Chain A
Amino acid sequence: MGANAEPGPSAVVDTTDGGPAMRWVVTPLLAAFEPPMRWLQTKLGLRGLPYVFLLPTMAIFGLFSFLPALLNIYISFTGGASTILADRPFVGLRNYEALLACESIFVPKSCPVSGFGFWTGMWNTLLFAVIQVPIMTAVALATAIVLNREIRARGFWRALFFYPVMLSPVVVAVVWDWVLKRRGILNALMAEIAETRNALAAWGPLEMAAKIAALVVAAAIARRLWALRAKGAWAIPALVLCAGAAAWLVFAWDVRASVATQAWRPINWLADANSSWPFFWVVFVYTWSHLGFFMLILLAGLQAIPRDLYEAAEMDGTPKWRAFVRITVPLLMPTLLVVLVLSLIRAFQIFDEVYVLTGGGPGTATRMVIQEIYESAFVSDAKLYGVAAAASVLLAGVILVLTLVQLALTRRKAGA
């Protein structure tokens, strides 16, 4: 992943000894395997031994990754509720029909029952990915750029932004559920703000204070513009505009009306079926808890850009923003692409946070496709393993394409 300003992994432990745990527990334990492994070495020779070392990992991958991947396709062509493969009748494409036999896949209501759930989940997931990925990438990039500046205590800030990544989805959901309840702290805070605004609106000298403040700000901007008048023709019109705005603020601005507000009516953020709030908070909470991870990758990418490029640009008198557009953006592009695709892959697999936070509700507003697969296979009484497997195959197709793109990008980046 390129150079990093932090010490490499080698800083974790600076001795190779590993301390008493290594010396008294791990080493004797591993020494116990010495005789059988020595016997294997004499049997297989040096050529055969690497396969022995690979065996445990490959056995687990074989049994719990490759075998299921193949079985997935097979099960998607079978029906019934049995978990014994021999007892599952072959039904051909009927499971796929149950998912795809819609008049229009864009209208889940026109689908069979299983298709309704699947396409509802699919479109929700797609909507989630389309909204969440750009927001996450943008905020992670902004955070990484801020942290890449020469700020005090960078490690401290970076750790704080990363902290939510460490929390489990269940904990994250409990934390935010507690904040977002109808009688939770967010509604209390909003009510407090509304009250404060009304109290402010009733404050006697408010009008005068606000208008004087506006005049001071306008005067400061005007001074700056006046100083810039030699730089370009736009400064004088801007100055006129500034004066006009100041005049409007002083003579036409109804300060009290713009400060006063209605009393806050508590919103049931996570359960209000007549608004998009539940979906908004799902996006927000997910971004909140995963931002730090993508921020770290982008930060590593930023720190891999050679400093002397910026120094050279500075010596040429290049403005900061142009150095950003011409140096930072192109050199960060590979990392940015990896982050985009990686966050897209993850967004398509969203389940934990939403399941605990909203349970897919209200109604089906935040029901994602993994929840649909999970529930149709394991929660429903019908145990629709075949349909769930078919849905998984369709989802796996999407994730397969995305992952291949990501691997290609990572490889190109490593080669560049």
Chain B
Amino acid sequence: MERAIAFLTRTRNPGRVGWTDILAYAYLVLGVLLILAPVVWLFVSSFKSQRALIESDPRFLPYEQVTAVLPGSSRPVNLVEWTAPDGTTRVFAQLRLSGANVVLADPAKPDETFQVPRRDTRPHETVRARFENYSEPTLGGGAAGTFRFGLYFGNSVFVTVVATLMTLAISSMAAFALAKYRFAGRDVFMLLIVATLLMPATVILVPLFIVVKNFGMLDSLWGVIIPGAATPTGVFLLRQYMLTIPDELIEAARMDSASEWKIYYKIVLPLALPAIAVLAILSIIWRWNDFLWPLVVLSRSETFTLQLGLSSFKGEMLDATHYLLAMTVLTLLPVTFVFAFLQKYITTGIANTGMK
């Protein structure tokens, strides 16, 4: 215990906790609360029943009303806890309401009914996580018909995987040419690639749409994948890294009469793998979270990605909050896992490229 306290209070100047240290930690704790609390709240809410969500039950854990089927009846009735005037509390079945009173009965003896003031009773509840919120939209069943999670998930995975592979392949080829060859117009190409930073999809939305439509890629996942496959960030990230690969390796391979293509995929690509991994992670995040461009290209719900499905579900299904929250959790889980395992490489990758 003593050692634990010593560990926790250890700072730069041993034996002295400055007020700036306290401020710094207070800032961090506050910030982390502000960042995690909404996400955690979404997560616990996603296990609550639709009724608890509509009533905006502010309690942290998912509570659910306990019901029972009394002998001689087929309909389940709610159980309530009644606090008798002598202070004891017992569970009874609530048969019906009667003005400000409720009619109760012992579940074992449903014929002996009695009335008590409603304010002396509380719903009898138990903690239960509703995994149905997750299973019904994914595996079918329930009223989750319009949210086809499997389909959207498949579309998102397809877009993310294919687009990332494509980005890696073509960016590494371009980076190889720009890093390892001297040729006429190299600087012009570099300038052209930088210039694409001036044309983000947001400001060329209409003509990009018309180009894609004329290629017949509207309402097709390829219309989402191909226009964004080339990225200036990716090319420069890889080129910067390939510059550090010694030219002697390439010269030696040429001596052994390896073809240039072989040099690219046998020597340069494996050596550039660290930078390629960073680009792969970045590309996966960009593609998984992409919203505006898929929104323009995809209008049929069969081609929706998870983000589009979620956003249209949010717009139309006012009475299915429980599914919406659960599906949101499923959408953020993959990125969260990727981040949890690779956060060090993601943060260094972004700090080094300074782009997104």
**A contact set with B: CB distance below 8 Å:** 1, 4, 6-13, 16-18, 22, 26-27, 30-31, 33-34, 37-38, 41, 46-47, 49-51, 53-54, 56-58, 60-61, 63-72, 75, 83-85, 142-143, 146-147, 149-151, 155, 157-171, 173-179, 181, 183-185, 188-189, 192, 288, 293, 296-297, 299-300, 338, 342, 349, 351-352, 356, 359, 370, 373-374, 377-378, 385, 388-389, 392, 395-396, 399-400, 403-404, 407, 410
**Inter-chain contacts of A56 with B (CB < 8 A):** 169-170, 173-174, 230
Given A53-B174, A57-B174, A58-B174; A46-B260 close (CB under 8 Å): yes
CA distance A410 to B295 in the complex (A): 32
Which of B73-81, B86-94, B136-144, B188-196 is found at the contact surface with chain A?
Answer: B188-196
CB pair B288–A168 under 8 Å, yes or no, is yes
* CB neighbors of A among B185-218 (8 A): 186, 189, 192-194, 196-200, 202-214
Which of B97-105, B112-120, B274-282 is found at the contact surface with chain A?
Answer: B274-282
Q: Report the minimum CB–CB distance from A55 to chain B (whole Å).
A: 8
Indicate with 1 or 0, residue by residue over B13-28, a CB within 8 angstroms of chain A CB atoms. Answer: 0000000110011011
CB pair B259–A38 under 8 Å, yes or no, is yes
Given A166-B285, A174-B310; A65-B196 close (CB under 8 Å): yes
**Nearest-CB residue, chain B, relative to A70:** B207
**Inter-chain contacts of A166 with B (CB < 8 A):** 285, 289, 335-336, 338-339, 346
CB pair B214–A50 under 8 Å, yes or no, is no
**Inter-chain contacts of B170 with A (CB < 8 A):** 56-57, 60
CA distance A27 to B169 in the complex (A): 12
Given A12-B274, A161-B35; A374-B292 close (CB under 8 Å): yes
CA distance A224 to B106 in the complex (A): 69
17 contacts between A and B (CB under 8 A): A1-B354, A9-B352, A13-B277, A30-B261, A53-B174, A64-B212, A65-B199, A68-B207, A146-B28, A147-B28, A159-B344, A163-B336, A166-B346, A349-B200, A377-B206, A392-B204, A399-B200
CA distance A68 to B178 in the complex (A): 25
Q: Report the minimum CB–CB distance from A304 to chain B (whole Å).
A: 10
CA distance A188 to B203 in the complex (A): 41
CB pair B351–A1 under 8 Å, yes or no, is yes
Given A50-B177, A57-B174, A163-B339; A175-B270 close (CB under 8 Å): no
CB pair B328–A57 under 8 Å, yes or no, is no
**Nearest-CB residue, chain A, relative to B290:** A168
Indicate with 1 or 0, residue by residue over B153-171, a CB within 8 angstroms of chain A CB atoms. Answer: 0000000000000000111
**Inter-chain contacts of A407 with B (CB < 8 A):** 194, 197
CB pair A188–B174 under 8 Å, yes or no, is no
**Inter-chain contacts of B173 with A (CB < 8 A):** 53-54, 56-57
Given A51-B183, A170-B311; A351-B197 close (CB under 8 Å): no
CA distance A291 to B273 in the complex (A): 29
Report if B45 contacts A (CB, 8 A): yes
**Inter-chain contacts of A338 with B (CB < 8 A):** 354
Which among A4, A9, A378, A410 is the interface contact of B209 at CB below 8 angstroms? A378
CB pair A64–B351 under 8 Å, yes or no, is no
Q: Report the minimum CB–CB distance from B220 to chain A (whole Å).
A: 15
CB pair B351–A299 under 8 Å, yes or no, is yes
**B contact set with A: CB distance below 8 Å:** 11-12, 20-21, 24-25, 27-28, 31-32, 34-36, 38-39, 41-42, 45, 55-56, 58, 169-171, 173-174, 176-178, 181, 183, 186, 189, 192-194, 196-200, 202-214, 226-230, 235, 241, 259-262, 264-266, 269-271, 273-275, 277-278, 285, 288-289, 291-292, 295-296, 307, 310-311, 314-315, 321, 324-325, 328, 331-332, 335-336, 338-339, 343-354, 356
**Inter-chain contacts of A13 with B (CB < 8 A):** 273-274, 277
CA distance A25 to B206 in the complex (A): 39
**Inter-chain contacts of A26 with B (CB < 8 A):** 265, 269
**Nearest-CB residue, chain B, relative to A169:** B291
Which among A30, A151, A176 is the interface contact of B265 at CB below 8 angstroms? A30
**Inter-chain contacts of A176 with B (CB < 8 A):** 38
Given A71-B211, A166-B335, A300-B352; A373-B274 close (CB under 8 Å): no
CB pair A69–B206 under 8 Å, yes or no, is no
**Inter-chain contacts of A66 with B (CB < 8 A):** 192, 196, 199
Q: Report the minimum CB–CB distance from A166 to chain B (whole Å).
A: 5
**Inter-chain contacts of A299 with B (CB < 8 A):** 351
**Inter-chain contacts of B34 with A (CB < 8 A):** 288
Which among A4, A184, A296, A399 is the interface contact of B198 at CB below 8 angstroms? A399
Which among A46, A288, A297, A388 is the interface contact of B205 at CB below 8 angstroms? A388
